Amino acid sequence: TARAEMKTEECTHSISVGHNAFFDLGFLYAASNRSNLKNPFHQFSTIDTVSLSALCYGETVLAKAIRVADIEWNDASAHSALYDTQKTAELFCQIFNAQVYS
């Protein structure tokens, strides 16, 4: 079960990362409540790639930030939850690993 996996992995107080992450937090909290799971996300720590991409690339729109970051983007695949999540992860990793913010 999800609860057993969380306990095995000691998944407590995870930091959520997302593009416009604050929009998604309500859905994540509701899903954990419906599943009778303790909210695994740290209450005060969320990393939002909207802010990071604005700072690093001057763009807040995911597709535009991805293009400026020179990451492959497919308009036909955009706006599916999985595709956008994968591209957001790529964007976050590129920003974090490049340390263009320092």
Burial of 22 (0-12, 13-18, 19+ CB in 10 A): exposed
Judge whether 79 counts as a catalytic residue. Answer: yes
Model confidence over 44-57: pLDDT tens digits?
778 899 999 999 99
Q: For tokens 């729109």, what's the residue? A: 61
Q: b/e for 23-61, b at 16 or more Cβ within 10 A?
A: ebeeeeeeebeeeeeeeebeeeeeebbbebbeebbebbe
**Residue carrying structure tokens 């597709």:** 63
pTM attached to this predicted model: 0.75
Domain edges within the chain: 2-98
**CATH class belonging to 2-98:** alpha beta
Residue of 13, 19, 42, 79 marked active site: 79
Reply yes or no on whether the pLDDT at 68 is more than 90: yes
CA 59 to chain centre: 16
